[in-house]
Chains A and B, each alone.
Chain A
Amino acid sequence: MTADRPTITSRWSRLLAALALVLLPAMLVAPPATASTDDSPCEPDNSTPCIAVLVLNADNDRLGDVVVTVAGQGFSADLTTSADDAATVAAPQVGTYTVTIDPATLPDDQQLPEGAETELTVTAQNGATARAAFRVGPGAVAPAAPTADGSDDGVAGGTGDAPATEDGEGVGAAPEGDASQRALTFAQVWQQIGSGLRFGLLLALASIGLNLVFGTTGLSNFAHGEQFALGAAVGFITINQMGMSIWVGGLLTLAVCAFTGLAQDSAIWRPLRKRNVPVMQLMIVSIGLSITLQYVIQLMIGGGSERILSRNPQPLTLAGITLSTASWMSMVVALVCVLGIAWFLTRTRIGRATRAVSDNPALASATGIDPDKIIRIVWIMATGFAALAGLMWGVSFGSFNWQLGVQLLLLMFAAVTLGGLGTALGAFVGSLLIGQVVELSNLFIPSDLRYASALVILILVLLFRPQGILGRRERIG
């Protein structure tokens, strides 16, 4: 920690430059993000009919972040409910409208009851609010009949003691619903294995980068989860808000996120490496970066759940497994990328050099490899692939929120520890296993605990085989 004086100003300016770079996308995109979410409730008057949508659980509490579609009379609007107030929309004219709920956006423990309709029909009249109420969750009675009345708010109370929640479970709300509620059949298990494969492949794409950074620099990067969420967030802004096509928006997202990797390395990590800052200190710097990025993402997309693709997912059944078409595409892309990374690491000069730096940096630089260059490439790859995985996660799982990163970070750590810290193949194997564990445990334990099962595995691995499946003994210290 001896500061070499001559460089201190340049270090400062670099750090500031890096922060500016990190904040830049937030500054650029913040205004549209706030402008497009029209939160002002609809006020019915003599020429405006309003439609209000409520999603109520068994205790008459409103559920937030559920996506509903109001359509009719040549008009269509997507609404997201909130826990505080009914979601309202101004209807263009008097008439009947169909309100459709998207079950995929319901919380896992609050699914629609068996046989309940996903559509309600309401009649909008001038000067009145037509209310459509969905009943969900265990113990929900038959769906309430839609009513049209003049009052804005029929259900009293119920929201007063809603806690300020830091975390929601919204991240992994799988379209397949809560499997633990259903009987165990082979088809069920097979379906969950398919979901697990999707989970595992996306996790693998993200955690290979985490493991490459660990291998080459020794840093357990706690900000990697935020790089993953950043992919989803930037994708949401380019594809959903700016209306780009998925390919253009996706490529732009990748470019922006890979650039954050380059900027990070040259502004933060390389100067710190030059000063021989211990890795534990670097780890805490990465925690600080993770907090910062987490709030930057919140500033970009807001506190609620967002969807990258606004159209409803198209289911596609292959080999008895039903997933959305976007999920199947994502799985193919993830597999191709993982194979590409494997080819890169084993067959190309730079890839071999990467493994050499990972093995022994001093020896690698003695043979003419520039470790700084390799580590720069690793950072770009790590952030780029994490962003791609995050983007595809957002597309295939329907909705995501700003906490996506931290939740997935722990699963990534579980995956790389299970597979073996510092080995790229280990991250792949570990991720596939963790994907299966998470989705299959869904069959046996309440789905709000399914991520906990993966973390229990992490602790068990450390207990019995700390180097992981493919790791080497000397790494555990």
Chain B
Amino acid sequence: MEEFLRILTQSLGELLAPTTAAYAMAAIGLNLHFGYTGLLNMGQAGFMLLGAYGFGITLVAGGPFWLALLVAIAAGVVFALILGMPTLQLRGDYLAIVTISAAEIVRWFGRSTLWQEWTGGASGLQGRYYKEPFQELSFLPDGRFALGPLEYINTGSDSWWTRIVAWGLVALVLVFVWLITRSPWGRVLKGIREDEDAVRALGKNVYSYKLQALVIGGAIGALGGVIFALPAAIVPDSMGRTMTFFVWTILLLGGAATVFGPVLGSMIFFAAYMFMRTGMRALAENTGVGDVITTTNVEQIGGMLVGVTLMLLVIFRPQGILGNKKELAFNVR
């Protein structure tokens, strides 16, 4: 029973974890791409990694916190422009192939020895090199604080301060996305998703709108990378394809083309993922299940279940929990 409570607390903790906020942020950006505009961006992890690098390297070089945030956003914007300009005139799956390739190129350059003095190569940038300016901003008193069963230090890596900033940023971006998607601009995006040619016939520059959506969503993705880097380190190999696919699963779970879908999806995804893994690990350690499933297999089975979940979601409930089946970008082209 005590064991079960521990597992439950850990899963509950995932609801508020900074990583959950980071994935929610990335999914909000992807939602703008896929949910509202119908763009198949398979390289969201590339945007996140670039954002994290922009943030971390600026701080390591001695820049102030706000400049680091701006550099991160600028990195996302530039990456989106480079990707979007050649490919947005092509069919959807080309964009998917190009974005996933570009994200891999970013990761390979990051882990290469070429710019090791900046990126730290394959072992990445350790958190202690860039966290200080961020933690100095904290106005929370020293010590620890407990909210129900969840107890963290006030200021530090895995702290309340990180959580407040992470979710504060998510809330700000949510309001921003809610405002722009109900504006005339947002209605054009949805028009492009539904019927590109009809929007073109209305005299809109479809290409330019798609590029704008890609840029804004990419900048949001870069912010997601910053949040991801706040409590941890910037390691290129932990921000690869798997991350992109998790972001997709989160978006489709919560519901594409909805405002709260990404946040809900991220919370449910990580709570369930943690519950499943700690639960299986506890079973493997304490019961006869351990003879069949060793603790190392738990991660692999967890990963397999994510893949199966994604498949089942797309086949049987592509609109996710909150979504509306009519507002689904799959039918396009």
Cα distance A238–B91 when bound, in Å? 42
Instruction: Identify whether the interface residues of A are mostly helix, strand, loop, or mixed.
Output: helix
Contacting pair B304 A292 (CB below 8 A): yes
Interface segment, one of B73-81, B156-164, B169-177, B236-244: B236-244
A289 to B297, CA, bound (A): 19
CB-defined contacts of B93 to chain A, threshold 8 Å:
220, 279-280, 283
Docked CA distance A57–B108 (Å)? 21
Q: Is the CB of A109 within 8 A of B113?
A: yes
Q: Which B residues are CB-close (under 8 A) to A291?
A: 242, 245, 303-304, 306-307, 310
B40 touches A280 (CB 8 A): yes
Q: Please state if A161 and B123 are interface contacts (CB–CB under 8 Å).
A: yes
Chain A window 457-468, contacts with chain B (Cβ cutoff 8 Å), 1 for yes, 0 for no = 011001100100
Distance to closest chain A CB from B265 (angstroms): 15
Given known A1-B325, A220-B93, A455-B102, contact A163–B235 (CB-CB < 8 A): yes
Contact partner, B91, options A1, A165, A167, A477, Cβ 8 Å:
A477
- Determine whether B331 belongs to the interface, using a CB cutoff of 8 Å to chain A: yes
Cβ-based interface call for A145 (8 A) = no
Residues of A within 8 A of B87 (CB): 462
Separation of A34 and B295 alpha carbons in the complex (Å): 12
- The reply to whether A449 and B101 form a contact with Cβ atoms under 8 Å apart is no
The answer to whether B101 touches A458, judged by C-beta atoms less than 8 angstroms apart, is yes
Most buried by B among A30, A161, A283, A290: A283
B255 contacts the other chain (CB 8 A): no
- Give the residues in chain A near B310, CB-CB below 8 Å: 284-285, 287-288, 291
- Whether A289 pairs with B307 at a CB distance below 8 angstroms is yes
Nearest Cβ in chain B — how far from A282, in angstroms?
8
**Given contacts A163-B124, A284-B248, A413-B97, is CB(A452)–CB(B105) below 8 Å?**
yes
Interface pair B330/A452, CB less than 8 Å apart: no
Which residues in window 83-135 of B have CB below 8 A to A?
Answer: 86-87, 90-94, 96-98, 100-102, 104-105, 107-109, 111-114, 122-124, 126
Do residues A292 and B311 form an inter-chain contact, with CB atoms below 8 A? Answer: yes
The answer to whether B332 touches A1 (Cβ under 8 A) is no
In the assembled complex, which residues on chain B have CB atoms less than 8 Å from the CB atom of A281? 314-315, 318, 330
Instruction: Check A148 for interface membership: any CB of B closer than 8 A.
Output: no
By a CB distance below 8 angstroms, the chain A residues around B122 are 163, 165
Among B104, B114, B325, B330, contact of A410 (Cβ-Cβ < 8 Å): B104
Chain B residues bordering chain A, tally (CB within 8 A)? 64
Select from chain A the residue with minimum beta-carbon distance to B241.
A406
Are A295 and B300 also in contact (CB < 8 A) when A281-B314, A451-B108 are?
yes
Residues from chain A with Cβ under 8 Å of B92 in the complex: 280, 477
Tell me the minimal C-beta distance from B95 to chain A in angstroms: 9
Instruction: Give the distance to chain B from A17, nearest Cβ to Cβ, in Å.
Output: 14
* A278 in contact (CB, < 8 A): yes
Known: A1-B325, A165-B237, A413-B101. A272 touches B315 (CB 8 A): yes
Name the B residues within 8 Å of A284 (CB-CB).
248, 252, 310, 314
Cα A135 to Cα B285 with chains together (Å): 39
Question: In the complex, are the beta carbons of A466 and B94 less than 8 A apart?
Answer: yes
Does A414 reach chain B (CB closer than 8 Å)? yes
Q: Which residues of A contact B61 (CB under 8 A)?
A: none
B window 228-267: CB within 8 A of A: 233, 235, 237-238, 240-242, 245, 248-249, 252
Q: Is the CB of B237 within 8 A of A167?
A: yes
A109 to B113, CA, bound (A): 9
- A299 and B301 within 8 A (CB): yes
A180–B304 alpha-carbon span in the complex (Å): 38
A358 at the interface (CB under 8 A from B): no
Q: How far apart are the CA atoms of A315 and B83 in the complex, in Å?
A: 43
Interface flag for A446 (CB, 8 Å): yes
Contacts of B325 in A (CB 8 A): 1
A-B contact pairs, 14 of them (CB 8 A): A19-B308, A165-B235, A166-B237, A166-B238, A277-B315, A279-B93, A285-B311, A288-B307, A291-B242, A291-B304, A299-B304, A410-B101, A448-B108, A466-B90
The 4 closest A-B pairs by CB, nearest first: A291-B307, A292-B307, A477-B91, A288-B310
